[in-house]
Amino acid sequence: MEQTKVAGNKRMWDPVALLLIDVQKDFWTEEMSNAFPEYGNRVSKLLDVCRHEQIDVVHLRAGFRADKSDWMVKYKLRDWIPCIEGTEGAEIFPFAEDARAEKVIIKHTFDGFLNPELQAHLLQNGKRFILVAGLVTSVCVLLTAASAAQQGYLVALVEDCCADEPAAHEQALGRYPFIFGRVKVAQISANREKWMADLDKLANV
């Protein structure tokens, strides 16, 4: 019976994927810790929901070589970049670790879609609706979500699983309704029917 339920969940959520972005120590500040004290618990809950509902999870992570060969040019001038391979700052928080068989993609830019591996993975697996969460709301989360929308995906930010400097966080969430929808972890399951209806409408356009 449980096997049948899991298979059914998988089919119901087939077009949907979660992108969990840059939940790494270099991107977490004391200000964020004070402003979002429940962040770790919420991301853990998000992953629990996605795994229970059989929503595919893709982990996007920043990673850079110490020799600067893959740094964005602005950072080469600054002589510093976050998440250098092998450093503590590049480490993932335990609550955001990938489970077995979940896709992990390393990126060298703000926009995760600039690594063609992400688009290839989503297309290969028939994804059409993207949930986005992670760090930092106004930078990699926003730019990856905007890129997803421009490449033909419907997008929703899981707003209580994003974090940033508080004013920047609120501005990023509130300013771009023409790019993405907003949802909280507790609302994901209840939104499935609406999201699938929207995808069905698009299929008939």
Q: What is the CATH number of the domain that holds 10?
A: 3.40.50.850
pLDDT at 69 over 50: yes
Strand, coil or helix: 85: coil
Backbone dihedral region for residue 149 (phi beyond 0: left; psi -120 to 50: alpha; all else: beta): alpha
The fraction of the chain above a pLDDT of 90, given in percent, is 93
pLDDT band at 204 (very low <50, low <70, confident <90, very high): confident
Mean pLDDT throughout 181-193?
A: 97
| N-term to C-term CA, the chain | 38
**How many folded domains does the chain comprise?**
1
Domain limits for position 149: 2-203
The fraction of the chain above a pLDDT of 70, given in percent, is 95
Residue whose C-alpha is closest to residue 141's, from 157, 153, 129, 123:
157
